[in-house]
């Protein structure tokens, strides 16, 4: 069985510190493409984590890379534009929290997702430290 292939937009911030290292030894998922603005950081990350493709342009990555899902790890002020871009590929999208900067932006994202209801979407958030979830 082949591994699930993940492409990451905004891969040199928190994704580089937390997400990519955790996925390095995953038996089910492999990071196959990363995107960020800083080419030197991308080159270093690609080499360190054996990631085959890296891009400074997110459009180029989502249109060129071979992946099963997109992880949006950019800062929240970029999420709306990144989601718009990613929806065009009709592949599952995971977006880092917080989803939006404000209520209005959240409504706009919600409207977009309703227009693309067949594209799987989720916010990357866990509840394990929430009081209501602790047993």
pLDDT for 18 equals: 87
Burial class (CB in 10 A: 0-12, 13-18, 19+), 1: exposed
Read off the pTM.
0.90
CA of residue 98 relative to chain centroid, distance: 13
Cβ 67 vs Cβ 6: under 8 Å: yes
Task: Give the tens place of pLDDT for each residue, 100-131.
Answer: 999 999 999 999 999 999 999 999 876 555 55
Task: Give the tens place of pLDDT for each residue, 22-44.
Answer: 898 889 999 999 999 999 999 99
With a CB cutoff of 8 Å and minimum separation 6, the contacts of 58 are 9, 35, 82, 85
* All domains of the chain in start order, with CATH: 4-124 (3.40.50.720)
The Cα 75–Cα 43 span in angstroms is: 21
Q: Are strands 121-124 and 93-96 parallel, antiparallel or unpaired?
A: parallel
Q: How many other C-beta atoms lie within 10 A of the C-beta of residue 72? A: 26
Q: How many other C-beta atoms lie within 10 A of the C-beta of residue 122? A: 10
The Cα 14–Cα 124 span in angstroms is: 12
């Amino acid at each position: 069985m082949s591994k699930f292939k993940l492409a990451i937009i905004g891969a040199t911030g928190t994704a580089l510190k937390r997400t990519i290292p955790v996925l390095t030894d995953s038996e089910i998922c492999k990071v196959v493409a990363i995107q960020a603005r800083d080419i030197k950081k991308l080159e270093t990350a690609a080499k360190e984590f054996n990631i085959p493709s890296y891009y400074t342009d997110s459009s180029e990555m989502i249109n060129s890379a071979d992946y099963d899902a997109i992880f949006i790890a950019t800062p929240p002020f970029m999420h709306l534009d990144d989601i718009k871009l990613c929806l065009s590929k009709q592949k599952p999208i995971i977006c880092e929290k917080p989803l939006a900067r404000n209520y209005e932006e959240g409504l706009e994202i919600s409207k977009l997702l309703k227009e693309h209801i067949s594209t799987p979407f989720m916010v990357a958030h866990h509840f394990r430290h929430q009081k209501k979830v602790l047993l």
